[in-house]
Amino acid sequence: MTDAMFAAPGQFYRGNLHTHSTRSDGVLEPVEVCRRYAAEGYDFMALTDHLIGLYNYPITDTTPYRVPGFTTILGAELHSGAMQNGELWHILAVGLPADFDPPVVPDFHPTDGQESGPALAARAREAGAYVAIAHPEWSGLSLADARSLEHADAVEVYNHGCAVGADRPHGFYILDRLLEDGRAMTLCATDDAHFTEPDHFGGWVMVKAVENDPDALVAALKAGHSYSSTGPDFRGIHWEEDQVIIESSAVTSVIVQGKGAAATAVHGDSMTRTHVPLQRFSQCDWLRVTVVDRAGRRAWSNPIRR
C-alpha cells in the first residue's frame, strides 16, 4: 500500500507554518519576512503573529505579498487561559479567517475568567483553521494539558526557534501519547522565526496539494498529506504486510516507531531505498517513520493507522 500522502494528487510544496513580524514580537516588517522566505525557495508561509491585546490582536494580512510561485496563508498564534504550569496557552492556527473573533487576552499573562485554551482551539478549528499544539516541550505542556486539547489536528514536533533559543524543540513525547490514546494526530516542523537570532529556515513542512493555493494547502495539511523536515526528503513510502519500503534522499538511518518502546532502525551509507521489517510492531496500531542524513538532519512522516 502506498502511503496516502504519495497516493494523493498534486505535488509537494515547501512551507513554514509559524513565523512572527513587527506586528507582534518579530523584528522584520511583514513584507520583508515574506520576501526572505520567497527568496530562500519556499513555496508558501504563514505569518502567525501573537493574537493578544498588547499587539492589537493582529491577523496580519499577507495577501499583498503573494507573487507567482509563492503564496501566504493567514494565521495567528493563539493564547488564552492557563496551562497546568500556570503559563498562557500557545496554539498555532493556520488558515484562520481575517475576521476571527479574538479572545480577551491583554498580554502574555493568563487572567481569571479567560476563555480556555481548549475552547479557543475548538473555535479556531470550527472557523476552518489547521490547529497545532505549539512547542509543547518549550511550553512545559503536561500530558493532561495535551489531552484536554481535543480540537487539534497536529503536534509541533520540531520548532527551530525553540531549538536555537532554548534547546527545547520537540513534541514527540506528547504526539506519541496522544496516538496511544487513539487520537488521529499529524505532526509538523516549523521555524517560529522572529529573526532575533538564527531561528529561521531550519524546520518546514512539505505539503502535497493540487495547487499552491492557501485553501488547497490547508486542506492537504488537515488530510495528513505532508511530511516535516530539517533537511532530508521522503520520495515514497510503501507499506507491506511484513515491511515498509522508504524512498528518500540520501540518508544514513531509517527508523520506524510505534507504540511504547517499539522501534526498528536500519543504518547504512547514502541509502535511498530502504527496507525496514515490521515484525517488531505486531501489537502497534500506529506507525511513523524518521529518516536521518549524514549531517544529523531529520525528516518525519505523519503517523499511519494499521
Kindly tell me if the per-residue pLDDT of 16 is higher than 90.
yes
* pLDDT mean across residues, the chain: 97
**DSSP bridge partners of 75:** 94
The pairing of strands 71-78 and 44-47 is parallel
From residue 223, alpha-carbon distances to 35, 184, 230 in Å are 28, 11, 22
pLDDT of residue 26: 98
> Residue ranges per domain, the chain?
4-229, 234-305
Whether domain 4-229 has CATH 3.40.50.10880: the reply is: no
Kindly tell me if the per-residue pLDDT of 19 is higher than 90.
yes
Kindly tell me if the per-residue pLDDT of 2 is higher than 90.
no
HSE-up of residue 238 (Cα within 13 Å, Cβ side): 9
CA torsion, ordered 42, 216, 218, 41, to nearest 10 deg: 0
pLDDT of residue 1: 80
263/261 Cα distance (integer angstroms): 6
Tell me the pLDDT band of 4, cut-offs 50, 70 and 90. Answer: confident
CB 161 within 8 A of CB 192: yes
Question: What CATH number does domain 234-305 carry, 1.10.10, 2.30.30, 2.60.40, 2.170.240?
Answer: 2.60.40
| Across 98-115, average pLDDT | 96
Give the rounded percent of residues in the chain with a pLDDT score beyond 70.
100
Nearest residue to 200 (alpha-carbon basis) of 39, 51, 11 = 39
- Phi then psi for 174, rounded to 5 degrees? -65, -45
- Structural element, H or E, at residue 125: helix 117-126
pLDDT of residue 30: 98
pLDDT digits 0-9 by tens, 237-280: 999 999 999 999 999 999 999 999 999 999 999 999 999 999 99
Nearest residue to 49 (alpha-carbon basis) of 37, 61, 66 = 61
The pTM of this model reads 0.97
